[in-house]
């Protein structure tokens, strides 16, 4: 076993990126493996330039939402848990929406020879907004589609390396290893992302056509489904308490109220978890839909609440945005935010406190919005959540 020291994250330069980008080379070039894995954190509104990869690429979204587009194709939406495969030598770009970060894993294999990737033009504001880009015939890829240098079954506990399809014995070993480890619950990587392109999808632990996740990438910020339903009711209370601030500015806009109703239905077990994860960004309020800061914060409290179906950390996000809304609505009372935090803590049952204590401290775990650089970790939101997490250790007044 060889432990590879951590590599400090680098900031993406403005040549291949627009906006704030941080990149962790989880499996960097220079190792014996041909696998390349980057943990990429896109700030709101950030995106890459147009680029292809010689051997293709898998992109797996950890959190947030963003657009992705291939040349001459319509923009598609990326949501948490989605995995998309870009074919070899195809021009494309991923990004984050203006009001969401988009942490993701970019996973590819190096070709046997030649360049791995190439950078083209920056994605213009018009392209980012969904208008057609330049015709593909004017921007030919400098890379030729190639097969990866080798095939990897997984990169976590069983980081074996297998040669290409010319070796049927190695292929069989790789398939059996991946199946066995997946059945044992120890395959915690994206099988689709490390699967050889010549393996039929159905051969891999019953996978359906197209890229999918066979193992789990369980975040410490997720919580169990039972705990997510438990904290959702509390988060809905927090968001509904400030809903009037939004409705005073937009009395005809029922979207935040509908989000809170969905959160309560999820808490009561009336809504299917998988379906709610797919539609968690449906019905949200956009950045420019309301101009008053307190109203916008109240709307975001509702948006965070409905996101609990996917990740329990959003319960703290709903409470933080609600407390922020109270402070923005009453700027002459600096104690207003602290009073709202006290109210929120008083509404927690013993079980809710226990569930929320399972979340990592804000700013420590990177696998969600509470992590360093995450949506909920900095500024006033981060401060509010620190106060909430400190209050979780206090006894609940029965």
Cβ-contact 36, 107 below 8 angstroms? yes
Q: What are phi and psi of 260, to 5 degrees?
A: -65, -40
Q: Give the per-residue pLDDT at 94.
A: 94
232: its two tokens = 């959702």
Is residue 398 a part of any domain in this protein?
Answer: no
Residue at which a domain ends, from 217, 239, 274: 217
> Residue 209 and residue 54: Cα distance in Å, rounded?
23
Domain that holds residue 345: 225-391
Same structural domain for residues 349 and 359? Answer: yes
Same structural domain for residues 246 and 329? Answer: yes
Q: Give the per-residue pLDDT at 315.
A: 96
Q: Give the per-residue pLDDT at 33.
A: 62
Tens digits of per-residue pLDDT, 359-377? 999 998 877 788 887 778 8
Chain centroid to CA 374: 10
Q: Give the per-residue pLDDT at 233.
A: 97
Same structural domain for residues 212 and 281? Answer: no
Is residue 397 a part of any domain in this protein?
Answer: no
Is residue 87 a part of any domain in this protein?
Answer: yes
Q: Under the phi-then-psi rule, with left for phi > 0, alpha for psi from -120 to 50, and beta for the rest, what region is 335?
A: alpha
Same structural domain for residues 244 and 110? Answer: no
Same structural domain for residues 386 and 244? Answer: yes
User: For the chain, how many residues are written?
Assistant: 398
Please provide the DSSP assignment of 290-324 as one string. Answer: --SHHHHHHHHHHHHHHGGGT-TTHHHHHHHHHHH
Ranges of the chain with pLDDT below 70? 1-15, 28-33, 130-218, 275-288, 395-398
> Residue 251 and residue 247: Cα distance in Å, rounded?
5
Is residue 13 a part of any domain in this protein?
Answer: yes
**Cα→Cα distances 259→163, 263, 291, Å:** 50, 6, 20
Same structural domain for residues 309 and 237? Answer: yes
Residue at which a domain ends, from 129, 149, 169: 149
Is residue 40 a part of any domain in this protein?
Answer: yes
Same structural domain for residues 15 and 68? Answer: yes
258 burial level (CB within 10 Å; 0-12, 13-18, 19+): middle
Q: Tell me the HSE value of 295 on the side-chain side, using a 13 A CA sphere.
A: 16
> Residue 233 and residue 74: Cα distance in Å, rounded?
38
Closest CA to 320 of 346, 341, 303, 334: 341
Q: If you search the block for the tokens 């101009």, which residue do you land on?
A: 291
Same structural domain for residues 239 and 338? Answer: yes
Same structural domain for residues 274 and 358? Answer: yes
Tens digits of per-residue pLDDT, 316-347? 999 999 999 999 999 999 899 999 999 999 99
Same structural domain for residues 183 and 299? Answer: no
Q: Considering the entire predicted model, what is its pTM? A: 0.52
Q: Give the per-residue pLDDT at 183.
A: 37
Residue at which a domain ends, from 217, 245, 275: 217
Q: CATH number for the domain including 21? A: 2.60.120.10
Cβ-contact 366, 6 below 8 angstroms? no
Q: Give the per-residue pLDDT at 128.
A: 81
Q: Under the phi-then-psi rule, with left for phi > 0, alpha for psi from -120 to 50, and beta for the rest, what region is 175?
A: alpha
Q: Give the per-residue pLDDT at 256.
A: 93
Same structural domain for residues 311 and 381? Answer: yes
Look at the chain and report how many structural domains it folds into.
Answer: 3
Is residue 396 a part of any domain in this protein?
Answer: no
Same structural domain for residues 188 and 206? Answer: yes
């Amino acid at each position: 076993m060889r432990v590879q020291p951590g590599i400090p994250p680098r900031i993406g330069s403005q040549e291949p990126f627009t906006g704030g980008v941080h990149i962790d080379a989880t499996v960097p070039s220079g190792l014996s493996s041909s696998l390349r894995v980057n943990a990429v954190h896109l700030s709101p509104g950030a995106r890459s330039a147009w680029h292809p990869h010689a051997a293709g690429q898998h992109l797996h979204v950890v959190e947030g939402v963003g657009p992705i587009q291939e040349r001459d194709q319509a923009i598609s939406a990326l949501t948490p848990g989605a995995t998309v495969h870009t074919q070899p030598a195809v021009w494309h770009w991923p990004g984050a929406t203006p009001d969401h970060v988009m942490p993701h894993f970019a996973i590819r294999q190096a070709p046997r020879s030649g360049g791995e990737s190439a950078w083209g033009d920056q994605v213009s504001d018009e392209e980012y907004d969904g208008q057609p880009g330049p015709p593909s015939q004017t921007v030919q890829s400098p890379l030729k589609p190639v097969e990866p240098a080798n095939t990897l079954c997984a990169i976590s506990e069983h980081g074996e390396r297998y040669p290409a399809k010319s070796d049927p014995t190695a292929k069989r070993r790789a398939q059996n290893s991946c199946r066995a480890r997946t059945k044992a619950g120890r395959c915690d990587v994206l099988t689709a992302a490390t699967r050889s392109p010549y393996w039929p999808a159905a051969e891999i632990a019953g996978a359906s056509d197209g890229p999918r996740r066979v193992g789990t990438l369980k975040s410490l910020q997720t919580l169990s489904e039972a705990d997510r339903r438990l904290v959702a009711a509390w988060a809905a209370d927090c968001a509904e308490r400030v809903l009037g601030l939004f409705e005073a500015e937009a009395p005809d806009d029922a979207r935040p109220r509908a989000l809170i109703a969905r959160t309560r239905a999820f808490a009561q077990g009336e809504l299917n978890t998988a379906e709610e994860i797919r539609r968690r960004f449906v019905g949200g309020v956009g950045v420019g839909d309301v101009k008053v800061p307190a109203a916008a914060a109240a709307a975001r409290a509702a948006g965070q609440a409905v996101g609990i179906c996917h990740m329990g950390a959003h319960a703290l996000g709903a409470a933080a945005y609600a407390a922020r809304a109270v402070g923005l609505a009453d700027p002459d009372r600096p104690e207003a935010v602290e009073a709202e935090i006290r109210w929120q803590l008083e509404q927690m049952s013993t079980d809710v406190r226990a569930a929320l204590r399972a979340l990592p401290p804000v700013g420590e775990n990177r696998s969600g919005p509470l992590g360093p650089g995450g949506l909920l970790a900095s500024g006033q939101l981060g401060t509010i959540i620190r106060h909430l997490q400190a209050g979780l250790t206090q006894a609940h007044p029965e």
